[in-house]
Structure 1
Amino acid sequence: MSVAAWALPYWTRGQAGRETPPELFRVLYFGWLAAFTLKVLGASWDVSWHFKWLRDDLAPPHLLNSVGTVIVVALTIIHVYTGYGVDRTAQRLIQWGTGTFLIAVPLDLINHRVNGLDITSWSPSHMLLYIGTFFMLAGVIRGWFTGAPPGRVRTLVLGGLFVFMFENVWFPAQHQEYGVFGIRAWDAGKPEAEPILLQFAADQMGRAIDREMVVRFALPVPDQVYPLYAAMAAMIVLVFARAMIGKMFAATAVAGAYVAYRTLIWPLLAVADFPRSAVPAFLIAGALAIDLAFLIRNPVVRALAGSLVATLVVDQVLRVQNAWAASPPLISPVTMAIGGAGLAALWLAGEWFLTRYRLRARNADPALSRTPG
């Protein structure tokens, strides 16, 4: 039987939440895994590409990412039209996320036409891309969480989706991780960026090609952004991963998988003569602190104690990594107290959200083991 002959009977208009045949459900979500895999590979290559070459709309990383985006759009259309594989909330999250991403693409192109290079990952048009992907992934995670049958495959796919979510949230922080290597290369007299890229960046800044220009090019945001983002944005994603996957070392596995991926592509980029980056291995330590915090049964105590320990661990292990290997510039421990307070607020809100919308795995929290998941 051809693919078209198999799929055609399912192409009927329906409301979100309609009963989905198991085989169709698996095909749809394995399609999402394929789409996000292509997007992550393209994005990883893209950030390294932009530290070496002048921007090009049709650069190979953009084309690879675009193949993943085409699959995303196709899957979104299927979910919205047929109602298969999603409830109403998941459908809306996917729909709005994909729509935001597609709106952000031309806005980003216009931004580059008007403002030039705009290499920073933290620019408004780039942030729209991450936000769109965030909601898209949130919808896919919810759809799989609520619709997949219990078992090993359910756990593994949910873990994989959270790795993609973690990668998307952490993506803008890679700018600083590539930046520190860019500065090292300049100081060693072997700049990684091509002369045309350095000249373009210098012209934008209105100055000569010198070390100060390279530093502004490589580290365009305040030093406080990187560790605070690690303590708050990265850790809260891992809190949700631990609660929804429901396995003891789920957060550590998600962070570990991401760090392993970054470690594996590091030599591939180096062999191809593309810029390398500081791999954020310290995030695994923060993830382990979160996993251990889930041994505490009271959600308020868990959030407060977990935030304190996770922030301290992230700060200290980041300092060890900075001394032994490489990391973006460090900051005063006092500043990290702000990150800890921010994480505590996010974690407390997350505990309420997970319970309110019944998003905990059955075994994620012994005190709430009767909550459907």
Structure 2
Amino acid sequence: MAATAELIRGHWTRGEPGRDAPEQLVVALYRWWVVAMTLKTLGATWDICWHFRWLRDDLAPPHMINTVGTAIVVGLVVFHTYTGIGADRATLRWMQWGLGIFLVAAPLDVINHRVNGLDITAWSPSHALLYIGTGLMSIGLLRGWARYGGGDRYSYAITCFLWFTVLDNFLFLNQHQEYGVLGLAAWDRGTPYADDELLQFAADDLGRPLDRIAVEHFTLPVPDWVYPTWAVLTGLGTLLLARRLVGRKWTATTIAAGYLAFRCVAWGLLAAADFPISAVPFFVLAGAVAIDLSFQLAARIRPVVGAAAVTSVSYAALSLQETYLAAPPADYSTALYVVVLFAGLWWLFQFLLDTEQGQQLVLRAQTMTGARESTTPSP
């Protein structure tokens, strides 16, 4: 830490993006990114659980954890911008735009809930800006790490973690239904997770007495087609892109397994602290395995056959989870168009990454993680 602090002080001078700097300093900066994103992920995970129990509180502990992570991000982006170290111009723009949108969205979210009430709908416009801002930052972070992070001995682990943050950012929206389905079941048992003030607020917000309809509107406010569609197209789409860019076998499975392990640990800690619990999307792991196995197929048939395999396996696993464990209600007929959209997404990734610029991006990512697989389209 002392050596890193000395390097930071010694390089706190104005520079152009992409400026040369000691490898130790660049790696330290990106390790601080890992700390910041960890805090933001922990804060967000606790936050949605918090709001299934109590009314909104601007100074709630989850918000404070997230704020500390955001403060570190601000400091890092300022350092990258002023010194030009650890980020080229394109990387810097992704980081700056992402952070800017997030910082604008945060007060807008506070105003939105002062005007409109309950802070629970994960799909609100102000929340969407928070996700978009975080997503853009993650793109810049992944791009910068792929370009400058090759000297770290934990390169592959950090790469998987950064893709984990992208996956978590997308699947965070689905946590509304995952908490909601168990929240509604708790109401039906006569032991609701939410306190009386929150339940009454939810009923007043809908303009009806406190009954099951009001609680269902509070816990499961989106149509049943949203949950599986979003999980496959965004969650598994993220894992597909990670597998293609990183290039190592079982990359999608590794990231999905890490995400589910995190969700299980969070589930245990929150349950032990008597907080609401959620369904955990174990079916995502089946889709991730299908993605990795699909890369054994010839490139020309991979988008169609792979999309069919991933979609069918994911929906089958979701059905089993709903039957034997717990899962939000899902419209399984959506598989008919999800498979088409996922095939198109797969083809688009393959087309873009097979261009010269895309091949260079793949090569940098694979060199960084020590991947041995070829960057050509064939397996």
Instruction: Measure the CA separation in 2 of the matches of 1:327 and 1:113.
Output: 32
Q: Secondary structure at the match of 1:208?
A: coil
- Per-residue displacement from partner, 1:244-299 (whole Å, max 9, x unpaired)? 2221100000011000100011111111111000000110000000001111241x
Residues 129 and 367 (structure 1), Cα distance of their counterparts in 2 relative to 1, 3 Å cut:
closer
- Per-residue displacement from partner, 1:102-126 (whole Å, max 9, x unpaired)? 0100110110111011411000000
The count of residues paired between Structure 1 and Structure 2 equals 368
Indicate the residue corresponding to 2:327 in structure 1.
Answer: 327
Q: Secondary structure at the match of 1:238?
A: helix
Asked if the contact 1:297/1:365 (under 8 Å) is kept, the reply is: no
- Per-residue displacement from partner, 1:184-231 (whole Å, max 9, x unpaired)? 100100000000001111111000110111111001110100000111
Q: Secondary structure at the match of 1:162?
A: helix
Indicate the residue corresponding to 1:180 in structure 2.
Answer: 181
Indicate the residue corresponding to 1:341 in structure 2.
Answer: 340
Q: Secondary structure at the match of 2:301?
A: helix
Asked if the contact 2:94/2:139 (under 8 Å) is kept, the reply is: yes
Residues 107 and 297 (structure 1), Cα distance of their counterparts in 2 relative to 1, 3 Å cut:
same
Indicate the residue corresponding to 1:318 in structure 2.
Answer: 318
Instruction: Measure the CA separation in 1 of the matches of 2:167 and 2:4.
Output: 33
Instruction: Measure the CA separation in 2 of the matches of 1:349 and 1:15.
Output: 33
Aligned: 1:239 with 2:222: no
Of 81-90 and 191-200, deviating more is 81-90
Aligned: 1:359 with 2:367: no
Asked if the contact 2:51/2:119 (under 8 Å) is kept, the reply is: no
Aligned: 1:27 with 2:35: no
Per the TM alignment, residue 37 of structure 1 is displaced from its structure 2 partner at its CA by 0.5
Q: After the TM superposition, which residues 25-104 of structure 1 pair with which residues of structure 2 at under 5 Å, given as runs?
A: 25-104=26-105
Read off the aligned partner of 1:160 and give its amino acid letter: F
Of 315-324 and 17-26, deviating more is 17-26
- Per-residue displacement from partner, 1:112-167 (whole Å, max 9, x unpaired)? 11101141100000011000000101100010111222675221111110111111
Residues 150 and 72 (structure 1), Cα distance of their counterparts in 2 relative to 1, 3 Å cut:
closer
Q: Alignment identity in percent?
A: 47
Q: Secondary structure at the match of 1:321?
A: helix
Q: After the TM superposition, which residues 135-154 of structure 1 pair with which residues of structure 2 at under 5 Å, given as runs?
A: 135-149=136-150, 152-154=153-155
Aligned: 1:133 with 2:134: yes
Indicate the residue corresponding to 1:217 in structure 2.
Answer: 218
Read off the aligned partner of 2:104 and give its amino acid letter: I
Read off the aligned partner of 2:156 and give its amino acid letter: T
Residues 96 and 245 (structure 1), Cα distance of their counterparts in 2 relative to 1, 3 Å cut:
same
- Root mean square deviation of aligned Cα: 1.7
Q: Secondary structure at the match of 1:323?
A: helix
Instruction: Measure the CA separation in 2 of the matches of 1:227 and 1:152.
Output: 37
Indicate the residue corresponding to 2:296 in structure 1.
Answer: 295
Instruction: Measure the CA separation in 2 of the matches of 1:156 and 1:206.
Output: 50
Q: Secondary structure at the match of 2:174?
A: helix
Residues 129 and 32 (structure 1), Cα distance of their counterparts in 2 relative to 1, 3 Å cut:
same
* Structure 1 residues not aligned, in runs of 5+: none
Instruction: Give the TM-score, by structure 2 length.
Output: 0.94
Aligned: 1:8 with 2:9: yes
- Per-residue displacement from partner, 1:54-111 (whole Å, max 9, x unpaired)? 0010001000110000001100111111111112111110010001100100110110
* Structure 2 residues not aligned, in runs of 5+: none
Asked if the contact 2:95/2:141 (under 8 Å) is kept, the reply is: yes
Per the TM alignment, residue 349 of structure 1 is displaced from its structure 2 partner at its CA by 1.3
Indicate the residue corresponding to 1:18 in structure 2.
Answer: 19
Indicate the residue corresponding to 1:309 in structure 2.
Answer: 309
Asked if the contact 1:42/1:61 (under 8 Å) is kept, the reply is: yes
Asked if the contact 2:290/2:306 (under 8 Å) is kept, the reply is: yes
Residues 326 and 113 (structure 1), Cα distance of their counterparts in 2 relative to 1, 3 Å cut:
same
- Per-residue displacement from partner, 1:20-40 (whole Å, max 9, x unpaired)? 311011110000000010011
